[in-house]
Amino acid sequence: MKKIIVGFFAFVLLFVGHNAFASNVFNGQSGDCSPTIGIGNYTTGNIPRDGYGCWTSSSISASSGDTINVGMYYHNNTDSTLSNVRAVVSRSSSGPASSYSFTGSMSSDQGNQTFGTVTLNLSSSQTLTYSSTHLMKGKSAVLSDTDTAVYTNEGGIDVGSVPPGWDDYGTIIFVYKVGSTNQQTCQDSTATNYGGSLPCNYPQVNNCTISNFTANGSNSTTITSGNAVNLVWNTNNCTSVNVSGPNGYYNSSLSNSATVYPTSSGNYTLNAYGQTGGTQTRTVYVNVNDIQYNNCTISNFTANGSNSTTITSGNAVNLVWNTNNCTSVNVSGPNGYYNSSLSNSATVYPTSSGNYTLNAYGQTGGTQTRTVYVNVNSPYIVPDVPPVYVNDCAVTTVATNVGQNSAILNGLITRSNGASYFEYGTSVNLGSRTSSRVGSGSYNEVISGLLPNTIYYFRFFSQCSNGLSYGKIEIFRTQGTITNTQIIRQIVTQGTTVVGTQSPIMLKIENRYQSIGVGDNIDYTVMYKNIGKSLLTHPVLQVIVPQGIILTNSSSGTYSNETNTLTVQLEDLKPGQEGVVYLQARVDTLPSNTAQIVTTAILVYTNPNGAQENAIAYVLNNPKNLVVNNLGASAFWSGFFSIGLIGWLLIIILILLIILISRRYYGNKSVVHTTTPLGDSHTTTTTNY
């Protein structure tokens, strides 16, 4: 039952516009009830109101046994949501008395407001017994005369959050009973103990309640900036919850706990919602000490863009993290993986499941730790079917000319030619692609519309003679909006890539090996020459070595373990001037499903017009662990097992002669050539000359 006819407040639907906001946080707009608190006698039906249904009476008379209603209308008078809203009606006396006054007020985190006072006049001294409070929250509840919550606590009710707009106004009805000084029974027929002893009791609706909400086990806690805070809560009869707090934290999909890493102090607020629309709110306070010295924090750590990922054994997992004010980090995980020289990313190829752990260390000795989980599924092996390789005839190389919103993606077609394109995106799922076009040899494409200071993933695809081939997934980071963020695997900002006869630079990189394996040592030779007619200034040579290959020595330059890049500052190149840089490297690891390993050389220079340009060249190697078709191999070797000792000696001598001839031949070769990626082959690619 309702103690009031709520249709009065439906008048606000007549007003689709409103005036500029007043200074009060509640009411005051064109269309709001004024006054916003009124009083009426429900028993006699004496509830004065205007043509819009708003209560107008500030004083009413009643007799013993009458039911008195005090109603408050509320509406958000601001452009943002009001939080922790509470409504209170306080009376002047606990009685008995011949006159009572009622003052209504509402409070919120954004401001408090008193609505006014109404008066009840009695012919004699009478008791006044509080019965109940009825909340109709929102336009639909008001129009349908439906309670969203019923309370039996006279001290006030929690309304929760009140958004702006004309769909979220409401009414609150406080119900009182007038009785003689010797009244000892409940006279409210809606009460469960009607006719019984006071106070009146009312049926409880299926309303949501919060039994506890803690931060690190307490109502408040103090931590050092970036450390973990464990939020734990329990609710009853609630259909959904959400938690919000410092640093813009928000989550609406949690069950009963969350771990956060705040860097600023503030309240975490738990909102719980019940089936009948009631809202319960609790807050806990977290005090964050930001020590004076440079303290280390981890802002994120992901595997393939998430806190956990599932892969097939041996496939790539891209670990990405960001830290602040840290002096060093290390990452460890399955298969004995450990690295202490990385900056903010790594690619790993696990064959067993487990956690990868990031430890970050600050100047004051503080340590921050995060973990991500990688679930590894064993591959289903089809007998006599060769595995699928990346970097077959389509090889992904590097991104150049990286700005805030654009970049050039580079690839290499090593066999045949056909329709080719790049796919790219902010996760390993990619999602965007360039237009297809026919190409051969070096292939690049400009992409635009990128977000600044964001990591992007990209992969090269080409339709080769044996079907669609695709390269490895590589990454780069766009420049920031304030400072130039160095892209992954590159140190200097690059300008336009000049190719063909227009390039004033001849650039070549080669080594004397066809196939490489774990434990091998590699010698690289990088040759460059100014074949133009003008002075080229501020030249910088970079050699980007693949992941898993460690540079051990070089004739000049500085090597970065974080980006696998050798950087050589060259003197200005006069026309005809040339030079050579030598490198030595060791193969520590090789991916098991990569057909060709690419090493990239980039020479950046400034032309006479002041524009920055670059040339790019590649050298390709095949991994020794490349698997050939098992059926063909078995058929091939089965014919040799029947020969005798002399036959085997002849075969060994023949193999040695072939190796000697091929080393002499390939050691001096500098032109482009390509064989099948599943054979024992070696490719040297030179461009821009």
The per-residue pLDDT for range 505-518, each reduced to its tens digit, is 999 999 888 888 88
Q: Is pLDDT at 642 greater than 70 in this prediction?
A: no
Average pLDDT over residues 450-459: 92
5-31 residue pLDDT tens: 444 444 444 333 333 334 689 988 888
- Tokens at 546, concatenated: 């693949």
Instruction: Tell me 257's DSSP state.
Output: E
147-193 residue pLDDT tens: 888 888 777 888 999 999 888 889 999 999 998 645 567 767 667 77
Which residues are within 8 A (CB) of 131 and not within 5 positions of it... i.e. 6 or more apart? 3, 67, 175, 176, 177, 188, 191, 199, 200, 202
108-139 residue pLDDT tens: 999 999 999 999 999 888 889 888 899 989 88
User: pLDDT category, 461, cuts 50, 70, 90?
Assistant: very high
CA–CA distance, 396 with 473 (Å, rounded to integer): 7
CA–CA distance, 562 with 558 (Å, rounded to integer): 12
Of the listed ranges 1-5, 164-168, 413-417, 484-488, the least confidently predicted one is 484-488
Average pLDDT over residues 37-47: 91
Q: What is the dihedral of CA 322, 328, 331, 337, to 10 degrees?
A: 140
pLDDT at 300: 86
User: pLDDT category, 682, cuts 50, 70, 90?
Assistant: very low
Of the listed ranges 52-66, 196-210, 391-405, the least confidently predicted one is 196-210
Average pLDDT over residues 248-264: 82
Which residue, 592, 551, 625, is CA-closest to 335?
A: 592
User: pLDDT category, 306, cuts 50, 70, 90?
Assistant: confident
pTM: 0.39
343-369 residue pLDDT tens: 688 888 888 888 999 888 877 666 788
CA–CA distance, 632 with 352 (Å, rounded to integer): 30
Which residue, 44, 18, 681, 80, is CA-closest to 389?
A: 681
pLDDT at 668: 43
pLDDT at 82: 93
**Residues forming beta bridges with residue 262, ordered by sequence position:** none
Q: Is pLDDT at 99 greater than 80 in this prediction?
A: yes
Which residues are within 8 A (CB) of 523 and not within 5 positions of it... i.e. 6 or more apart? 511, 512, 582, 583, 584
pLDDT at 16: 35
Task: Answer whether 4's CB lies under 8 Å from 42's CB.
Answer: yes
Characterize the bridge pairing of strands 59-62 and 113-137: parallel
User: pLDDT category, 88, cuts 50, 70, 90?
Assistant: very high
Q: Is pLDDT at 488 greater than 50 in this prediction?
A: no
Of the listed ranges 55-59, 290-294, 323-327, 650-654, the least confidently predicted one is 290-294
User: pLDDT category, 434, cuts 50, 70, 90?
Assistant: very high
**Residues forming beta bridges with residue 549, ordered by sequence position:** 587
CA–CA distance, 114 with 134 (Å, rounded to integer): 20
627-637 residue pLDDT tens: 433 333 333 34
Q: Is pLDDT at 83 greater than 80 in this prediction?
A: yes
Half-sphere exposure of 593 (CA within 13 A, CB side): 20
Average predicted confidence (pLDDT) for the chain: 79
pLDDT: which is higher, 661 or 339: 339
pLDDT: which is higher, 617 or 685: 617
CA–CA distance, 608 with 605 (Å, rounded to integer): 10
Tokens 């993986």 found at: 337
538-596 residue pLDDT tens: 999 999 998 888 888 999 999 888 778 899 999 999 999 999 999 999 988 887 778 88
Average pLDDT over residues 525-546: 92
Q: Give me the DSSP letters along 431-464.
A: -EEPPPEEEEEEEEEEEE-PPTT-EEEEEEEEEE
CB count, 10 Å around CB of 549?
21
Q: What is the dihedral of CA 557, 561, 565, 571, to 10 degrees?
A: -20
Average pLDDT over residues 473-499: 58
User: pLDDT category, 327, cuts 50, 70, 90?
Assistant: confident
Instruction: Tell me 7's DSSP state.
Output: G
State the burial class of residue 352 (Cβ atoms within 10 Å of its Cβ: 0-12, 13-18, 19+).
exposed
Average pLDDT over residues 135-145: 84
CA–CA distance, 619 with 585 (Å, rounded to integer): 14
User: pLDDT category, 205, cuts 50, 70, 90?
Assistant: low
